[in-house]
Structure 1
């Protein structure tokens, strides 16, 4: 499949496809008649990239993750470290939002009890 077909079929923005192509992560030449041709392995990788984008990974972190993922066993460990770090950031954000909800509930409680 070419870039336009992949973008339409899998709802992947062309900008992400171009980003992926620029990283040169494939071992074989994927250019056919001037167009990049995507295979099943590319689609799998793009799925991972989309998931990382959805998780708010930065462009640089996504590229690093993908490069590490294609390495040997050490790459998997480094990927796990990146995921753990991102998980910790998300948990901290959740806890902050929970504290905000507690403050809202307190203020609601104050207002409710002031009329009694």
Structure 2
């Protein structure tokens, strides 16, 4: 499947597909008559890249993760570490937001309490 077909079929912006190609992570992608052709394993890798972006990985982190992934099972520990670090950061953000909500609720409560007098 061509880059345009992959973009349209899987709703992946062309810019992301072009960036993916530029990283040199397209192990199974073949250039035929001037255009890239994606197979199912490429689409699976693209899905992983999209997921990593969605959970907050930077481009550099995505590249590192994908290079590790392509090296195989021997890199599972390092990939799990990366995911764990991202998870911990996300939990920290959630806890911070919960504290903000508590403070907002307190201020709202104080206003409502003063209006009842």
Interval of TM-score (by shorter of Structure 1 and Structure 2): over 0.9
Structure 1 stretches of 4+ with a deviation exceeding 2 A read 25-29
Write the deviation string for residues 44-88 of structure 1: whole angstroms up to 9, x where unpaired.
Answer: 000000111111210000000000011133311111111101101
Structure-2-length-normalised TM-score: 0.92
Provide the C-alpha distance between the structure 2 equivalents of 1:13 and 1:84, rounded to a whole number of angstroms.
28
Provide Cα deviations, 1:72-116, integer angstroms capped at 9, x if missing partner: 333111111111011011101101110000001101111121133
Alignment partner, residue 82 of structure 2: 82
Taking structure 1 as the reference length, the TM-score comes to 0.93
Structure 2: state its 5+ residue gaps. Answer: none
Aligned residues: 116
> Which structure 1 segments of 5+ residues have no match?
none
> Which residue number corresponds to residue 51 of structure 1?
51
